[in-house]
Each structure stands twice: as C-alpha cells, then as structure tokens.
Structure 1
C-alpha cells in the first residue's frame, strides 16, 4: 500500500470516529509538522506547543479534509495558521505591555503627595465602588467589561463609578467641570 493510499484509508477511518486511525496519522506526520513549525517559528519549544495545538485542531476538523488531499500539507496549513495566531497574539501582548509602561511612566511622574492622596481617597471608598473605579478609571475597562468581571448589573457599575468618581474628586479637592 502506497503512503498516499495508507493516508487515505487512515483519514477515512478517522472521519468515521477512529481515534486509533487518527493516532496513526499523527505518528506518520508529526515529525514533518514539528520540523516545519520549528523552521517557521525559530523556537523549538513554541513549535512543539503549536504542533500539539495543530493535532488537537486537526482531530476536531478531520471531517473537513477532502478525499485525496495531502494530509501533510493540510496539517502544515493548520500549524501555520496556529503560528500566525501566536505571532499576532504576541504582538498584541507587546503593545499592551508598552501601553502599560507608557501609562505607568505618566503615573510615576505625578507628585508623591498626589499619589498618596489618591490612594487614601481610594481606600475610603466602599469596596464595590473602589473595585468599579479601579477597573474603569484606572485599568481602562469598559463599563460592560467591569460588570462582567465583577458579576454586577451594568447599571450598578455605572452608579458605583459615578459616585466613586465624585467622592474621589471631593476628597482630592478637585472641581468637577464635567458635571
């Protein structure tokens, strides 16, 4: 039996639900997929993780593989898409980290007495108001994200932010021109 016809038989069996047939496909192609991902990533550890993700995704998508298609090419395509997703995710993470550092530098430039006054004013807020203010005003969460994170109704989060902001401004002696 030729390698291509063996792959076709294994694919057909795997599409029928045979985990053993899929396991044989993994055995047959894992070295090629790992080698490709190692070259694409340049990081062996990341490539091995991506290869595992590739085979997990392939198992759930085996029904989509068309008869006669190259299993190796299909698996490498899934792996490459996993790699691209990881690269985009890492890029977003670097951007978030840079934004955090940029915001942190601005905060660090504030006079120490202002920081102390703000911390004291925050500590005096009720716990739920403090949590809402910390997420929405300090961590740039949307009201909906804060509501989800804190498991509170959206209207409650909005009220806590409004009241908490007003209390902070009053405690800091700042005039609220926004009202």
Structure 2
C-alpha cells in the first residue's frame, strides 16, 4: 500500500477510536503495525524476543492510553515507533544485565567466530557499531525511515542523525570491504 494511503487509513482509524472509543478500530491499528513494532524492538533488544514482545505490548498499551496526544504532525507509525523506542530506553536503563550482554556481543563481534553467512556477520557488525550509529542505522537504513522521521523517533537533532547515518554506513562499507577481502583470501576474522 502507498504510504500516503496508509497514513490516511491510520488517521481514519485514530479518529474512530477517539470519537467513538472504537476498540475494533484500535485493534486494526495494532494488527497493521504490530509486526513492524516487534521487528524494531527485536533489533533494539538484540534479538531477545521475549523482552521485545513485552515491550511491544507495553507500546500498544501506552498508545491506547495516549492516543489523544497524537497530533498527526508525523505519520501514526512514526509516533508509534517513538513510543516503542522510549519503552525500550526506559527498560534498558532499568536492566543492567543488558549492559553485560552488550559487552559480550561486542567481544564476539571483534573476536574469531564461525561464519554462518554474510547476513549473520552483518548483524554482528551492526551490533558492534557505536550506540548512536546503530540506532540510526536501524531506523534509517533497515526500516527505511527518513532522516527526519529517525530524528523524531530518537529525539536526536537532524544533523546528528545524518552524521550517524553517514558514519555508520562508512563503517559498514569498510567492514564489508574487509569481509570480502578475507573471503577471497580464505582468512577468517
């Protein structure tokens, strides 16, 4: 579906929920966006599916409670991604165990590993990016959002988003260049 048509449909559903407390309309919004929100959160949670699903549920509960605050200045999906991002940040700050997991992931990405293909290694490379670059790459590159939408979701200034996108892309290009070079020579990193 065309993004403009999707936005209009979302707006119509939001209006039905607000005007008539139409739970079926909200259920449609959930069905339309739950896969993307879960995918977003799974990437942020580094594939911890249970944690991501808990955060997705919290995201939709907050969206229900705060729907009257949606001003349609951005697309509904962008507003929803922002809520999900904030849920993640709040939970991440409260769970120091994930800091330990991050260090372990970075160690694994830097050290020797068995290759299961480029996609798996690319995911590790993404996880090894500095936090700001990784988050921007998630929203801008992997989810296909604009720099402006990414800035809105993350709360980062637009210039910072553009810088993180440029630097993250450059790091990944360099990593892929090294990866291809190592593949051609049979060297594993």
Q: TM-score, normalised by structure 2?
A: 0.47
Compare CA radii of gyration and give the structure with the larger one: 1
